[in-house]
Structure 1
Amino acid sequence: MKTVRVARISVIAFGLFVVAASATQSAEIASGIPRIVDGDTVQIGSAKIRFAGIDAPETDQVCLDAKGEKWACGVTARDELIKYSAGRSWDCDLVGSDRYGRSLGKCFIEGGDISAWMVRSGWALSFVRYSHDYDRDEEIAREANAGLWAGAFIAPWDWRHRNAATVVLGALSVPVDAQKTLLGAVSSEGAPSPDCTIKASVGHGECIYHLPGDRWYGKMRMDPGKRWFCSVGEAEAAGCRAPKS
């Protein structure tokens, strides 16, 4: 009986080893110099990668600085990531995919976690709906009034669906009418940046983008529910498509 039991344990151990080995072999890694789409989305080769565990401002997102002035925080978050990357090669561990077909991953430069840097610098938030990996980095940014935390802003996940009940985050020094100002910062005020001129309509379960010069572009009023994008890649990464005709 003792011999049979040892053999059985050995078989189980071998089975676990095979499963672990298979999991290791199936893990995907993307390496190279990325094209940075926005503060939490990049492309390396053919892989479109959304950072797992964080959420950065949308490129059409507007925030308030410490003086209560509006600024294009989404564009700035993207540009800060571009500056931090500085043309260096990345290594990304891909851990799944999202509903838009993008790979979810954690990316590193010379072993340093890029998402941790983004959150700790105040250019992104810990995406607590899905992960608490970066909660401590967010605490550090908030205590230092770094990046977005120097003024007032709406969490990216709330900005995408903002309404009168939307909560405004940020420093205590921001004006008391911050919510009214941010909720009023609708797309009709113009593109957040001269290089972000793609218009998109979101509704009825789909998002359609329009480029300058197409037949619908000039007719589209950028009222609430519309989006600005800086590139076709960014619009498609957000689940938008070109018009059919």
Structure 2
Amino acid sequence: MWTKIRFPLLFFPLLLALPHLAQAADITGVPKIREADTLQIGSTRIRLGGIDAPSVDQLCINTQGERWTCGVAARDELIKHTDGKSWTCHPRQVDRRGRQVARCEVDGEDIQKWLVENGWALAYTRLSKDYEADEKAAREAKAGMWQGAFIAPWDWRVRNKKTPILGATKPPENAHAILLASASGPVAPSPDCTIKGNVNSAGECIYHQPTSRWYAQIKMRISKGTRWFCSVEEAEAAGCRETRR
């Protein structure tokens, strides 16, 4: 014989709320690091929360007043620091691009904190104050991007001639011309940057000098795996090889 169990009416709203209270499971694994604040573990795309790092095509100015691909540097420093180790990411929400916004750690180290305190990302204080002190320390130590001149990543995406410039180095007269340019896209960031890079069907990065047979056929487009290089050394440092034709 079944016994009816009567719950107080106040209990039902709590039951309905429980699914929303459930926290998403941790995501673990060795990631593919796309940018300093964007990675993928398995099929899950992850955006590091509380910070903002330069895109791989963002340009900065170094202590000698020269352009450098700070976005690539930030990504590569993160790859080097984590050294192929497994990550543990704690999801907090899903952003409008379908990525899990998470706090991630490697061997117990807060990766966002490491990026900000080493000057490879900024604290995204519009949404979180967690890394504000780390950014101040990086600025005072002139670490990473702070050693030269740069535009905050969120400003760089909507940049114009009035966009403020950050950093420890007094920017040269042509600073805006350098910082407003992009390492990818249809127009080279500088007249000296004539080497084209692209990714072939095998996933290899290939660079083409102006004398290359295929040079004119390489169409430079943002988000199409193409980018400009200013020297052979820069292209090879990015892991590209020269075309065989």
The aligned residue for residue 122 of structure 2 is: 125
Structure 1 residues 196 and 21 mapped into 2: Cα distance closer, same or farther (>3 Å)? Answer: farther
Q: Give the Cα separation in 2 of the matches to 1:111 and 1:218.
A: 48
Q: TM-score, normalised by structure 2?
A: 0.70
Q: TM-score, normalised by structure 1?
A: 0.70
Q: Which runs of 5+ in 1 are unaligned?
A: 1-7, 199-211, 232-245
1:101 aligns with 2:102: no
Structure 1 residues 230 and 137 mapped into 2: Cα distance closer, same or farther (>3 Å)? Answer: farther
**1:178 Cα shift?**
2.0
Q: Give the Cα separation in 2 of the matches to 1:190 and 1:179.
A: 11
Cα RMSD (Å): 3.3
The aligned residue for residue 38 of structure 2 is: 41
The aligned residue for residue 197 of structure 1 is: 198
- Alignment length, in residue pairs? 201
Q: Give the Cα separation in 1 of the matches to 2:196 and 2:50.
A: 28
Structure 1 residues 71 and 91 mapped into 2: Cα distance closer, same or farther (>3 Å)? Answer: same
Q: Deviations over 1:12-47 (max 9, x none)?
A: 89x98x899867743321011111111100111121
Which stretch has the larger CA shift, 165-174 or 153-162?
165-174
Decide which structure has greater helix share: 1
The aligned residue for residue 109 of structure 2 is: 112
- Bigger relative contact order (CA 8 A; separation at least 6): 1
1:66 aligns with 2:63: yes
- For residue 26 of structure 2, give the secondary structure of its aligned residue in structure 1: strand
Q: Percent identity?
A: 44
Q: Give the Cα separation in 1 of the matches to 2:85 and 2:226.
A: 23
Q: Give the Cα separation in 2 of the matches to 1:70 and 1:228.
A: 22
Structure 1 residues 88 and 57 mapped into 2: Cα distance closer, same or farther (>3 Å)? Answer: same
Q: Give the Cα separation in 2 of the matches to 1:25 and 1:185.
A: 42
Q: Which runs of 5+ in 2 are unaligned?
A: 1-7, 200-205, 207-215, 228-245
Q: Superposed, which structure 2 residues align to 1:48-59 within 5 Å?
A: 48-59=45-56
Q: Give the Cα separation in 1 of the matches to 2:48 and 2:188.
A: 30
